[in-house]
Amino acid sequence: MAGRAPRALVSVSDKTGVEELARGLVALGYEVVSTGNTLRALRAAGVEATAVSDVTGFPEVLGGRVKSLHPAIHGGVLALRTPEHLAELEAHGIVPIDVVVCNLYPFRETVAREGVSDAEAMEQVDIGGPAMIRAAAKNHAHVTVVVDPADYGTVLAELRDGITPERRRELARKAFAHTAAYDAAIVAYLSRGEDLPERLTLPLERAQELRYGENPHQVGARYRLVGESSVWDGAVLHAGPPLSYLNVFDAEAAWRLAHELPATACVIVKHANACGAAVAEDLVTAYERAFEADPRSAFGGVVALPGVVTRELAERIAANPKADVLIAAGYDEEALALLTAKRRSTRLLTMAPPGPRALDLRVVDGGYLVQRPDALEGRSGWRIVTSRAPTEAEWRDLEVAYTVCARTSSNAIVLVKDGVALGIGAGQQSRVDAVEIAAKKAAGRARGGACASDAFFPFRDGLDAAAAAGVTAVVQPGGSVRDEEIVAAAEEHGMAMVFTGHRHFRH
């Protein structure tokens, strides 16, 4: 086969840039072989291309389901460039294929459409494409495989100058990742409706290199599911240093909690737990109240404001000890200029509202713990268990306390007055310790307010400590063998108490 023109097989679902690529291949002396709609698009664009059916001597059949599954194609892709393999190809009239450009049917996009049928979904399961990609990737020592239109320009230049074995290996790795993610999407579709599928396949790609990991001596990165995006992909870092692992982790916690509270809320998070949270009539007031709840802990924390930061609000933020991260829905021009000038080490982020999470995962030896995310039930399902019902003001504080408490590390107690989380006791082994820490932080400011507990009170000492802090209403799951004793203690203190029926541990 000496002196033959190199051959490239081009068959793509996503036709972005394919005409320019094919022209470039022809200009480099390649014979371009193509299939179906790709062939028609190339010929319509004036690109010379050979039909796969002319190579195989067999027409495309079954409505295009079978096109490239033929020894004349796969033999050309899989052949080693050894004298034995080349002689065998020549004996059978098969021409080696040196470049394979292929991407797959839009399965993920199809099943994302509302009302798609199983038949429509299965029709988008590509067979020939993955076979060609995997064959080319297996034989990357001799074949260049390209699955991403973003690589077309660089690959053309590399083919012109002499593509290296290392680069072909890199492209092969990308190709195997492409088919793996495709198969994972099919598995996920066929597992839909199952709370926890028997098989869980999560193809991830690195989306963002981080400044460092949990500590400066650790490397860290943010990964995302292949084919999906999140608010982090659209986040804009206006000013400040690059994000670290903990910046992202804490910011995620703050941003989600801020969007579970009413719109004019502010949340300040330190080490994944709120140290201040407030709901007010406007963002300026909400920020001031959240900051004043625990100014010492707010230093170096994450401030989340699900609205637009104005100059007035920026001035208040700049006057206080610095935050590591400030997240907002937006900034007006003056606010951004002021914060950029006065808070150079604060990362200023704009983000869209967070989306729902499908699963929560934690690493354990040899695998993961997996669960559905903890959802917060509404007040309509709560049950008043004392003779006194909460007042409207207490109800509002109970809802804020409950929401913040559910997103605080266990054991957790949150004390709220007038929409402000004034005392937060987090991550304690003893519930009464959590109450005492929350009461100490509230420093008498929670009198007449509400207390939330993420799990039931096992003994009345925790409730007594809450009463000593001055709260007059309590929300807790209930479910203890001592519930009657706890309710009786609430009656003694003149408290209103409601049971939610749902524990919200967070570890």
Active site residues: 138, 271
Give which of 450, 372, 452 is closest to 412, Cα–Cα: 452
| CA separation, residue 507 to residues 142, 357, 362 (Å) | 51, 17, 10
- Please state, as a whole number, how many other Cβ atoms lie within 10 Å of the Cβ of residue 307: 17
* Phi, psi dihedrals of residue 131, rounded to the nearest 5°: -65, -45
The answer to whether 307 and 329 have CB atoms below 8 angstroms apart is yes
Residues 6 or more apart whose CB falls under 8 angstroms from that of 296 comprise none
Distance CA 235, CA 253 (A): 15
Spatial contact of 277 and 257, defined as CB atoms under 8 Å apart: yes
Number of Cβ atoms within 10 Å of the Cβ of 198: 7
Residues 60-87, buried b or exposed e (16+ Cβ, 10 A)? beeeeeebbebebbbbbbbbeeeeebbe
Instruction: Put residue 98 in one of left, alpha, beta given phi > 0 → left and psi -120 to 50 → alpha.
Output: alpha
Per DSSP, which regions of 134-195 are E strands? 144-146
Print burial letters for 139-161: b (CB count within 10 Å at least 16), e (below 16).
bbebbbbbbebebbeebbebbee
Planar angle of CA 424, 494, 504, nearest 5 degrees = 35
CA atoms within 13 A on the CB side of 249: 14
Helical (H) or strand (E) element with 42: helix 36-44
Q: What is the dihedral of CA 133, 134, 137, 142, to 10 degrees?
A: -90
